[in-house]
Structure 1
Amino acid sequence: MRPATAIRTYRRQWLAALAFVALSGAAPPGMAEGAWPARAITLIVPYGAGGNVDVMARWIGPELSTRLGQPVVIENVSGAGGVIGTEKAVRAKPDGYTLLLSVESTIVIAKMVTPSTVRYDGLVDLMPVTLLGSQPLALVGKPAMQAKTSEALYAELRSAPGKYSYASSGVGTSLHLGGELLKQQGGIDMVHVPYRTGMQIVNDLSGNQLDLAVLPLSMVMQQARAGKMRVYGVMSDKPSPAMPEAPPLAGVPAWRGANVSVWQGVFAPKGTSPQIVEQLNTALGQVLATPSVRRNFEDGGVTPIGAGPQEFAAFLKNEESKFGAIVAKGSIKAE
């Protein structure tokens, strides 16, 4: 074939390939996009630096970077109880380069208790990748409380409606809803006292300035073991490995099944490729299997889970149903 003829033939083949791309969306040889990930990945933490969620991000970030072969940059976007950072993740391009590490209050509960200000649906606008870990909530009391067991406490609460108060980290949080579930299911009346921070609750409770509180187990283990507060039980059907001496509140028949945990999971914006989501889940599973990461989780009172996209999605639907029923029955609004 003469050179000029060869050039014309090649041009016709190339133009035909481009036409095929325009019609089918396929990429001809030499034009395929690079494999993911090809650059740094941003992991949004919708809370300030130094908090529990931020600490977990820094536990998993370096290991995830190693397995993906690209830097994982943690970006703290705090404000409105996690809503602002979550909205940023929802609006991000669904290309696998922006992820979100978040919790039950922001993903599931926020839209229920602040419907006029939360403009996203965590179960619709985000894709679940991996449920990293969880820990049960604990019902704890001040050292001076006379009741020594959950059964004795329940009897006292039933006999004295409105006499006792319980603290949580704010109206509409999972801690608040955990306390409301105990009230609703147990037929008891406690006064809710919202606080801004969990550590202030711990300080006031150990100083006998509060009667009761609902807190994540990890926040109370040290103080309880030092005798500065009493753990009446955890809101789960079985003891937590982090504190096996704390009994389940299910020992009280009226509280059986009143299970509430705080959990952390990784999400991607809606529309992210399922292949990228699966690749991320595989990498995160490997991260959770790393001895140093598991040790950090367990020392922090968090049970590693590693549930993948489908199992995580089913878990989220159950969480939505459970919290939705509590909010509806209690007419709870944080606005």
Structure 2
Amino acid sequence: MTTRRLSSFSRRLVLAACGTAAVAFAVPAWAQATYPSKPVKLVVGYAPGGSVDMAARVVADILTAKLGGAVVVDNAPGAAGVLAAQRVVSSPADGYTLLVGSSNEMAATGLVNPAQKYNALVDLTPLGLVATAPVMLVAGPKVPVKNVDEFIALVKRNPGKYSYGSSGVGSTLHFAGELIKQRAGVFMTHIPYRGTAALTTDLVGGSLDFAIISPTAAAPFIKSNRITALGLTSAKRFPTLPQVPALGENAQLKGYELTGWFALAAPKGLPPEIAQKLSAALKAGLAEPAYQRRLEEGGSIPATGQEDLTRIMREDTNKYLGLVKFANMRD
């Protein structure tokens, strides 16, 4: 009798153990291992050395330090960041393929590029803003203007005579230029370039009148007096360029603001535990002065970690949509 009771009890123990094992095997692999258990890839849709790439390398160092695993930058330039974003969107949502993107591919380009097959607001998991990145209106050496008032007066007197360049149709730089035209009531011809290098060459050489360009790319030519800085697109002056006014300071462009930004994102469906871990690591790193200095040196204003990236993406997309209609933009 005792033996039978012991056998029955033993059987119940075995069955319980089997049930526990079944539950354990049902837990996803990412929950069983400590994330990250292998290198994390940060895909960047721009060439090494540019402002997005520089921000991505800061993010890589932050995540490496805070997560305790290798985080590497993978540059995949093309189509104003769209190719890289598409690659991330199509990747498994396991936290090992992330995007360090810009306002181009995360808010702007989908409005003008019919080849873009993803919707950033739907197909990405926003993890955090990294930095904002004001751009700058500059004048070439053959244009007789030294400030925003002179720029507006000259272009108004000569509608259609002058041109401005940007890094491409539907880029943040293009939208910044169209917003200037809309607010100031001026007409200039937009000339899209495939990158900053060719744009800068034409600008400095005098074949391009004006340009919307990043402060980092413009700085050496401003210092050597080969181009003239007219104003920044941010609401306030940039800390490292205090002598350059914000465009919104001018009475004719009062309230003007259109800045680019860089952000960390993942494919949709990222497990909440991993999303929280990545967001917390980024926020902790952005609070450290050493990382803040590196972002500022790269021409960016570090995020605080308090920003709502989803809201920023939605609001900027709506702002850009209005400019698409104003400028009748087509890729």
Residue by residue over 1:209-267, the C-alpha shift from the partner in whole angstroms, topping out at 9 and shown as x without a partner, is 22111112222122212211111111122211121110111133332233121211100
Tell me if structure 1 keeps the 8 A contact 2:55–2:298. no
Match of 2:327 in 1: 330
Q: Does the CA contact (< 8 Å) of 2:134 and 2:259 recur in 1?
A: yes
TM-score, structure 2 length as denominator? Answer: 0.90
Residue 264 (structure 1) aligned with residue 267 (structure 2):
no
Task: Check whether the contact 2:231–2:246 (CA below 8 A) recurs between aligned residues.
Answer: yes
Distance (Å, rounded) in 1 between the aligned partners of 2:49 and 2:145: 35
Which aligned runs of 4 or more in structure 1 are off by greater than 6 angstroms?
Answer: none
- Which AA in structure 2 matches 1:178? A
User: In 1, are the aligned partners of 2:130 and 2:263 still within 8 Å (CA)?
Assistant: yes
2 CA distance for matches of 1:74 and 1:228?
34
Q: Structure 1: which 5+ runs fail to align?
A: none
Query: What is the DSSP-based 3-state SS (H/G/I as helix, E as strand, rest coil) of the residue aligned with 1:55?
Result: helix
Matched, 1:11 2:14: yes
Closer, same or farther: CA 4–252 of 1 in aligned 2, 3 Å? same
Tell me which residue corresponds to 1:95. 94
Q: Does the CA contact (< 8 Å) of 2:54 and 2:298 recur in 1?
A: no
Q: 1:260 to 1:11 in 2, by over 3 A?
A: same
TM-score for both structures, normalised by structure 1? 0.89
Q: 1:49/1:81 Cα in 2 relative to 1: closer, same or farther (>3 Å)?
A: same
- Aligned residues with identical type, % of pairs: 33
Please give the secondary structure, in 1, of the residue aligned with 2:217: helix
Question: Unaligned stretches of 5+ in structure 2?
Answer: none
**Alignment-derived partner of residue 58 in structure 1:** 57
2:142 pairs, out of 120, 141, 144, with: 144
- Selected match of 1:235 from 233, 236, 251: 233
Partner in structure 2 of residue 189 of structure 1: 187
Counterpart of 1:198 in structure 2 is 196
Q: How many equivalent residue pairs?
A: 326
Q: By how many angstroms is 1:17 displaced?
A: 4.4
Instruction: Tell me how far apart the structure 2 counterparts of residues 261 and 242 of structure 1 sit (CA, whole Å).
Output: 16
Separation in 2, partners of 1:249, 1:53: 23
Q: What is the rounded CA distance, in whole Å, between the counterparts of 1:46 and 1:284 in structure 2?
A: 20
What pairs with 1:1-335 in structure 2 (closer than 5 Å)? 4-17=7-20, 21=23, 33-115=32-114, 117-307=115-305, 311-334=308-331
Q: In structure 2, do the counterparts of structure 1 residues 49 and 219 end up closer, same or farther at CA, with 3 Å as the change threshold?
A: closer
Report the AA paired with residue 118 of structure 1: Q
Distance 2:120 2:200 in 1: 30
Q: Determine the C-alpha separation between the residues in 2 that align with 1:50 and 1:143.
A: 26
For residue 124 of structure 1, give the secondary structure of its aligned residue in structure 2: helix
Cα displacement string for residues 84-143 of structure 1 (whole angstroms, at most 9, x for unaligned residues) = 22111112221222211001111111211012x111011111011111112212110013
- In structure 2, distance between residues paired with 1:37 and 1:304: 25
Alpha-carbon distance in structure 2 between the residues aligned to 1:296 and 1:73? 17
Residues in 2 aligned to 1:95 and 1:185: alpha-carbon distance in whole angstroms? 44
Does structure 2 retain, via aligned residues, the 8 Å contact 1:216–1:262?
A: no
What SS is found at the alignment partner of 1:307?
Answer: coil
| Change over 3 Å in CA distance of 1:85–1:237 after alignment to 2 | closer
SS of the residue 2:32 aligns to: coil
* Deviation sequence 1:294-319 (CA, Å, 0-9, x none): 222112221111435x6111111111
Deviation at 1:26, TM superposition (A): 7.6
Residue range with higher mean Cα deviation, 88-97 or 2-11:
2-11
CA distance in 1 between partners of 2:184 and 2:63 (Å): 43
